[in-house]
A and B are shown apart, each in its own frame.
Chain A
Amino acid sequence: MVDIREVSVDELRHLVSDRAMTGETMLLNMGPQHPSTHGVLRLLLELDGEVVVNVIPDIGFLHTGVEKNMESKNYQQSEVMTDRLDYLNPMGNNLVYCLAVEKITELDVPPRAQAIRVILAELQRISSHLLWLGTSALDLGAMSMFLYCMRERELVLDIFELVSGQRMMTTFIRPGGLWRDVPVEFETSVRDFLKAMPRRIQEYEDLLEKNEIFLDRTKGIGILTAEDCYQYGLTGPVLRGSGVAHDLRKKEPYSGYELYKFDVPVHPEGDVYARYRVRVEEMTQSLRIIEQALNKLPFGPVRSNNRKYVPPPRSEIGVSMEALIHHFKLWTEGFTPPAGHVYVATESPRGELGVYMESDGSAKPYRVHLVTPTFSNLQAVPIMSKKHYIADLIGIVGSIDIVLGDADR
């Protein structure tokens, strides 16, 4: 299993142009371990000098077999695996999985849980965009951006640790609502964060906007038209950077997003700079949503009362026989939704994240398929990078914000 296998050129003959066979262009491997590929992505480059003629991405180096593994665990156990797919957006993955389970089982979610879900999902969006900004600016040469963005990210991770005990893989959003109620200090910490952030975002813009090298490396690079985006199924900031105002939080609102007022930033140029502007403005809009949700936060329970799917509180188990039986059934066998299939999609920081879930009436999901944005977005790298230099390719790959755990599942 550990032998090195040489790849012969015959396997790639149909992918590269004829000039590669004669030796006029060079085939170069930008391998799985590379500082700028944001994870284990292998790019096969066909180069004419320094100009890229063709790019062939090769993924699968992080394939985890999650879909098959979920078929042998019950619904609560397989939710833990969803955190680790798109590891910069674990709350978002939990949210889309829980929305799918709730759609099949027709569970109700109390309004307090929906509001807190929105707050946590938007905080997660801000932290994901901060990491994107840090690493892609680092690739383009602005090294201090990385340290600033990670410092901000620590504030968000402190809030997650306050709420659930874990910094990243929280599994806090469960079917029916949340795991438990947020502590009293949650509101003050979020308000402190909301006070500190706008000035920091302004600081990032000041650092990068007037920098000639940054502007030269991002304007006019990697242009994608809206028609290309439809053909390749691209969504998220890549689509909004090409002029299409498509955001699932507005078009198909879930978890109470229709109650909050926010704008969807759209830029028509379609290059790397437009996508950068879309993401920075999305961070400001997320702060707006969090503030509105926090001001309107209703009181009430945070998890549904339907004891067939949601475990009863520990205090009830000592006094009520039904509570004990429900608890026993949920912990040994797990809950059994009705048979059928659904497809639910939400807006993750990278694009449209969807779950196709099929249940056959037993306690284990029959088929769970995750439709991830990175898998579709990576297909567009070859068309975006024709006739650019290798240095531009780094900027392009950074601008579509790939996370390989998302692509390979």
Chain B
Amino acid sequence: MSDHLQNTLVSIQSQHDVQVEEFRGEFTLFVKPENIQTLMLELRDQFSFNVCMDVTAVDYYPQETPRFHVIYQLYSMPNNIRLQVRTRLDGNSPRIDSVQHIFASTNWKEREVFDLFGIHFTGHPDLRRMVMPQDWVGHPLRKDYPLGYEEVQFTFNYDEIMINKPHPKD
């Protein structure tokens, strides 16, 4: 672990209420959703984590009760260090503050997380659907959304599937 990263983790742990985990040489900070904006601002200004590479989410639907984890991947360009920040969110109308004014790269990524998981980012200037059509219902990457699998057509079920498939009129 480099010195800069060690200093960062030690001072953040002393000031905020976070837990640190490590797996295969990568470090993760678990933080509460209310503190995410202050933590991001401090990481960017004081500890020079100036690029946010990614914002994504994971859904642990039946197993864990804070159902969503929102994950931020931060990278410090001058020191060449990566850090991951995670928060836990509840399943009923999940809301979290947007960090779009801190890192401009999270603008589209938060829109994508809203589109695919349904997590609402308060303070985001333009929260619309990104990759699905605008009138789509549902959030596809949640674990209780079906895959939308179409049954494979073999010779024994050829006719049944042909009846249900849409065909163009001309």
Q: Which of A's residues lie within 8 Å of B, judged by CB?
A: 1-2, 5, 7, 11, 14-15, 59-60, 63, 65, 67-69, 72, 103-104, 106, 230-234, 244, 246, 251-252, 340-343, 345, 352, 354, 356, 358, 366-367, 369, 371, 375-376, 378-379, 408-409
Which residues of B in the span 105-142 have a Cβ within 8 Å of any Cβ on A? 105, 107-109, 112, 125-126, 128-135, 140-141
- With an 8 A cutoff between CB atoms, is B52 at the interface? yes
User: Within 8 Å CB of B56, what residues of A?
Assistant: 356, 369, 371
Q: A251-B80, A356-B73 are in contact. Are A379 and B24 (CB under 8 A)?
A: no
Chain B window 123-164, contacts with chain A (Cβ cutoff 8 Å), 1 for yes, 0 for no: 001101111111100001100010110000000000000000
- In the bound complex, CA of A386 to CA of B50 (Å): 25
The answer to whether A342 touches B131, judged by C-beta atoms less than 8 angstroms apart, is: no
Interface majority SS on A: helix, strand, loop or mixed?
Answer: mixed
- Known contacts: A356-B71, A371-B73. The answer to whether A408 contacts B131 by CB under 8 A is yes
Chain A residue numbers with a CB within 8 Å of B141 are 67-68
Whether B20 sits at the interface, judged by CB under 8 Å, is: no
Contact A376 B58 (CB under 8 A): no
Q: Is chain B's binding surface mostly helix, strand, loop or mixed?
A: loop
Task: Verify A233–B147 contact, CB threshold 8 A.
Answer: no
Contact: B131 with A233, CB < 8 Å?
A: no
Is B26 a contact of A343 with CB atoms below 8 Å? Answer: yes
Q: Do B54 and A356 have beta carbons less than 8 Å apart?
A: yes
Q: List 7 A-B contacts (CB under 8 A).
A: A11-B134, A59-B130, A65-B148, A231-B104, A341-B23, A343-B82, A358-B58
How many residues belonging to B are interface residues under a CB distance threshold of 8 Å? Answer: 40
Which of chain B's residues has its CB closest to A358's CB?
B58
Residues on B lying within 8 angstroms of A by beta carbon are 23-24, 26, 50-54, 56, 58-59, 71, 73, 77, 80, 82, 84, 103-105, 107-109, 112, 125-126, 128-135, 140-141, 145, 147-148, 166
Q: Given A59-B130, A63-B132, A343-B82, A352 and B53 touching (CB < 8 A)?
A: yes
Please tell me if the beta carbons of A367 and B58 are within 8 angstroms of each other in the complex: yes
When chains A and B are docked, how far (Å) is the Cα of A227 from the Cα of B53?
15
- Contacts A60-B133, A63-B131, A106-B24 supplied; 12 other A-B pairs, CB < 8 Å: A5-B134, A7-B134, A11-B128, A59-B131, A60-B129, A340-B23, A340-B24, A345-B53, A354-B73, A356-B54, A369-B56, A379-B105
Shortest Cβ distance from residue B112 to the other chain A in the assembled complex, whole angstroms: 8
Q: Which of A72, A233, A341 makes the CB contact (< 8 A) with B53?
A: A233
B101 CB, nearest partner CB in chain A, Å: 11
Interface centre among B53, B84, B107, B140 (most CB of A within 10 A): B53
Task: For the complex, give the distance between the alpha carbons of A335 and B66 in Å.
Answer: 29
The distance from the CB of A238 to the nearest CB of chain B, in whole angstroms, is 13
How far, in Å, is A98 (CB) from chain B's closest CB? 15
CA distance A345 to B81 in the complex (A): 12
Residues of B within 8 A of A233 (CB): 51-53, 103, 105
CA separation between A63 and B126, bound complex, in Å? 20
A378 contacts which chain B residues (CB < 8 A)? 108
* Assembled-state Cα–Cα distance A87/B141 (Å): 23
Partner of B107, one of A341, A343, A371, A379: A379
Which residues of A have CB within 8 Å of B71?
356
Specify which chain B residues have a CB less than 8 angstroms from the CB of A232 in the assembled complex.
104-105
Contact B82 A68 (CB under 8 A): no
Cα A333 to Cα B52 in complex, Å, equals 37
- Cβ-defined contact, A246 with B77, below 8 A: yes
Shortest B130–chain A CB gap in Å is 6
Q: How far apart are the CA atoms of A366 and B77 in the complex, in Å?
A: 30
Given A65-B140, A340-B23, A342-B26; A354-B135 close (CB under 8 Å)? no
Cβ-defined contact, A376 with B26, below 8 A: no
CB pair A375 B24 closer than 8 Å: no
Report the 3 A-B pairs with minimum CB-CB distance, sorted nearest first: A233-B105, A60-B131, A63-B131
A310 to B111 Cα, complex, angstroms: 39
* B140 and A369 within 8 A (CB): no
**Minimal Cβ-Cβ distance residue in B for A339:** B23
Tell me the complex Cα distance, A52–B23, Å. 48
A59-B130, A233-B52, A356-B56 as given contacts; A376 in contact with B105, CB under 8 Å: yes
